[in-house]
Structure 1
Amino acid sequence: MQETWRWFGPNDPISLEKIRQAGATGIVTSLHHIPTGQAWTEAEVTKRKQEIERAGLQWAVVESIPLHNDIKLRTGNYIAQIENYKQSIRAVGAAGVHTVCYNFMPVVDWTRTNLSYRLANNAQALRFEMTDFAAYDIHILQRPGALQSYSPEVIARAEERFAAMSEEEKALLEKNIIAGLPGGEGSYDREGVRAAIEAFIQLGEERFRENLILFLEEVIPVAEEAGINMCIHPDDPPFSLFGLPRVVSTADDARIIFKRVPSPNNGLTLCAGSFGARGDNDLVAIAREFGPQVHFVHLRNVKREADGSFYESDHLDGDNDMVGLMSALLDEENRRKREGRSDWQIPMRPDHGHLLADEIGQPGVNPGYSYLGRLKGLAELRGVLVALETIRNRNI
């Protein structure tokens, strides 16, 4: 597998030099300065690619070309937005980058309630706490119908939690949920998020899923021509938030996407932490079933709780079978080699990382994207890869 690293461009506090020192060879990045919905140009893509290559690295994956809400809702100027997306794909392909990760999450991108959850060793992790999320939804956002989204037990805990919150805690919780996290597609104020939520709820799950299929039917033929592997990222977390429709949360969801738009260029970002946040998703089985269409992998682990809460654990110490998943992915790479596929190597990145040591309290560290935490995660994952490959070579 190709070891890659997410980089947020020239303003990222972690330089390309530091990434190369971490041992990664591929960069996962985007053109973050271009607003969502605006077409990328070949000149802009080439400029970023050359910057990466001057540092001795390869631009391995675009993560991501974000989708405008007009496309997801098929409202407003969505036809022009889709045409802009096609132009962006062509520009990426012309520059020689061949993998594009994207998501189809409504309103909120990846969502956490606590960005500095303290672990037993005093490191800090990202956490999604269902009680806190419900407290925000019911008592702060005051979304119509919110009470119907939670069990009586969660509602009771949320009421108690809200009553104990200071104004500062309420403001921080709202910021964590709706103000946008690194790599997300924007932020909202309270009134804006209410309006956006209502639009998607009115759309409903089946129509939302159909909008995804209609988008892919337009875009995948362009990706085929441009030599681009499109890989959709699962919902994070993989269940409904704010009563919103979710259409990339389970293996069944993936089956529908690949059945409706059959193409080797229509693929999956296998995010272990996203799929793995629900216990009924078997990561190893997902990797084996959809292996030919896995174009990119996020390796991250979680500790799950019964009510849907979870926190991001050490990469090799969680509820997900990381070793089994990586073994299945290596099997897929070997299968591709036998087929003679030029894209046999699957790019992976250590997804998120704990805040450790001197980085704790430092300004400017992107939540989940610390240097030391990801360096630790990449080293652990690299050790698993070396061990698995050594065992395979000895058994040949």
Structure 2
Amino acid sequence: MRMTFRWFGEDNDTIPLPHIRQIPGTEGIAWSLHHLAAGEEWPMESILEVKEQAARAGLHIDVVESVNVHEDIKLGLPSRDNYIANYKRTIRKLGQAGVKVICYNFMPIFDWTRTELRKELEDGATALFFENSRIDDEPALLVERINKDSALTMPGWEPERLRHLSRLFEAYRNVTEEHLWHNLAYFLREIIPVAAESGIRMAIHPDDPPWSVFGLPRIMTNRDNLRRLLELYDHPSNGITLCSGSLGANPHNDIIAMIHEFSDRIPFAHIRNIRRFGNGDFVETSHRTMDGSVDIAGIVKAFHDIGFEGYARPDHGRHIWDEQCRPGYGLYDRALGIMHLWGLWDGYAYVRAHGESS
């Protein structure tokens, strides 16, 4: 397991790269060019600038999260070919810069959904929260509330991206899940050969949460659909970002079974916990299994059992110790999460090396 930490850039993050380097066992950043709109071709000079910044701190840029997919590609519009051409050129440039994995998603309009960014927990910490009854709110009101609660940009919720919500919802009005599958297959046929030539593995992120929101179709939601994705283009460069928090919002998802079944197609893992409630609500918690509803200890064991050599990160964290940070992306709790994951990993390694009785 190779540990990374999501970073949003020198001008767009509260966390300096040298602080990330000080988290034991953390070797790289999961990054993106967040100032670019979905569909734009990435300039090589901007890619190399991030690489140089990371290298000065002793970190690599092997994982990009994300190269966003333009809505016209998801909708299957005639203009998609222009955006796919930009995507291919970006893949080639990232391969030249040494990138090994590109995380992306295929969620219509929103690439994650929460209704509250700073839900107070029992211990006084705050965390991202999904309240099922509020998801029926007018989407524009939810967007306004989310952006008002954060002084920093929230990837997937940028005001400029969501300025034309009404038009986007109208465009998706007659788009079914099967339409979305068809458009994803078209996209994969175009980009996976380029990724393979560039030494890059594409890793789709599950839908977050893994069910329809606002009536929009969502297809990366469960084990059967992940299997269908891999069969659409059966190649090692067509892979999965296995996110325990996203998939874990649905109690029917057996994440440990997915790790074993898709072991050779998981180049990137997000390992985090949530606490589910019976009414469909969920809140993000610490990484400890006992603090949430997801078997983090069992998930790390599954990764250890398959000999996982891919990249991982602790994904989201709570906001603790009065840290002023981007919601879900502070330093303190994600660093604690990394140490918890390494503690589990080292424990399983010790047992394997010395036997159960030692």
* Counterpart mapping for 1:1-396 below 5 A: 1-11=1-11, 12-23=13-24, 24-75=26-77, 77-136=79-138, 173=145, 175=147, 182-184=154-156, 186-187=158-159, 192-316=164-288, 317-333=291-307, 345-359=309-323, 362=324, 365-395=325-355
Q: Note the C-alpha offset of 1:331.
A: 2.0
Q: Note the C-alpha offset of 1:194.
A: 2.8
Q: Is the 8 A contact 2:240 2:266 kept in 1?
A: yes
Rg larger in structure: 1
Task: Write the deviation string for residues 299-356 of structure 1: whole angstroms up to 9, x where unpaired.
Answer: 11111122321000111121111111111111222xxxxxxxxxx6211111111111
Tell me, in whole angstroms, the C-alpha distance in 2 between the residues paired with 1:244 and 1:304.
22
Matched AA of 1:386: D
Q: Is the 8 A contact 1:236 1:274 kept in 2?
A: yes
Going from structure 1 to structure 2, the CA distance change for 1:51 and 1:389 (only over 3 Å counts) comes to same
Q: Note the C-alpha offset of 1:228.
A: 0.4
Q: Note the C-alpha offset of 1:175.
A: 4.1
Tell me, in whole angstroms, the C-alpha distance in 1 between the residues paired with 2:191 and 2:126.
40
Q: Is the 8 A contact 2:37 2:161 kept in 1?
A: no
Matched AA of 2:322: D
Task: Write the deviation string for residues 147-184 of structure 1: whole angstroms up to 9, x where unpaired.
Answer: xxxxxxxxxxxxxxxxxxxxxxx88646479x996332
Q: Is the 8 A contact 1:66 1:185 kept in 2?
A: no
Higher mean Cα deviation, 180-189 or 350-359? 180-189
Q: Is the 8 A contact 2:147 2:154 kept in 1?
A: no
Going from structure 1 to structure 2, the CA distance change for 1:171 and 1:224 (only over 3 Å counts) comes to closer
* Corresponding residue SS for 1:33: coil
Matched AA of 2:321: A
Q: Note the C-alpha offset of 1:261.
A: 0.8
Q: Is the 8 A contact 1:27 1:61 kept in 2?
A: yes
Tell me, in whole angstroms, the C-alpha distance in 2 between the residues paired with 1:182 and 1:191.
14
Q: Is the 8 A contact 1:230 1:265 kept in 2?
A: yes
Tell me, in whole angstroms, the C-alpha distance in 2 between the residues paired with 1:107 and 1:42.
27
Q: TM-score with structure 1 length normalisation?
A: 0.84
Tell me, in whole angstroms, the C-alpha distance in 1 between the residues paired with 2:153 and 2:231.
32
* Corresponding residue SS for 2:235: coil
Tell me, in whole angstroms, the C-alpha distance in 1 between the residues paired with 2:162 and 2:316.
27
Q: Which runs of 5+ in 2 are unaligned?
A: none
Q: Note the C-alpha offset of 1:223.
A: 0.6
Q: Is the 8 A contact 2:147 2:157 kept in 1?
A: no
Tell me, in whole angstroms, the C-alpha distance in 1 between the residues paired with 2:41 and 2:162.
29
Matched AA of 1:61: V
Q: Note the C-alpha offset of 1:190.
A: 8.2
Q: If each structure's helix is expressed as a fraction of its own residues, which one has the higher value?
A: 1
Q: Note the C-alpha offset of 1:298.
A: 0.5
Matched AA of 1:377: G
Sequence identity, in percent? 41
Matched AA of 2:63: V
Tell me, in whole angstroms, the C-alpha distance in 1 between the residues paired with 2:161 and 2:226.
32
Q: Is the 8 A contact 1:4 1:348 kept in 2?
A: yes
Going from structure 1 to structure 2, the CA distance change for 1:222 and 1:190 (only over 3 Å counts) comes to closer
Q: Which runs of 5+ in 1 are unaligned?
A: 142-169, 334-343
Higher mean Cα deviation, 29-38 or 348-357? 29-38
Q: Is the 8 A contact 1:89 1:226 kept in 2?
A: yes
Q: Note the C-alpha offset of 1:229.
A: 0.5
Q: Is the 8 A contact 1:114 1:176 kept in 2?
A: no
Higher mean Cα deviation, 308-317 or 231-240? 308-317
Q: Pairwise CA RMSD of aligned residues? A: 2.3
Matched AA of 1:101: C
Higher mean Cα deviation, 6-15 or 195-204? 195-204
Q: Note the C-alpha offset of 1:82.
A: 0.1
Higher mean Cα deviation, 67-76 or 104-113? 67-76
* Corresponding residue SS for 1:201: coil
* Corresponding residue SS for 1:72: helix
Q: Which residue of 2 aligns with 1:341?
A: none
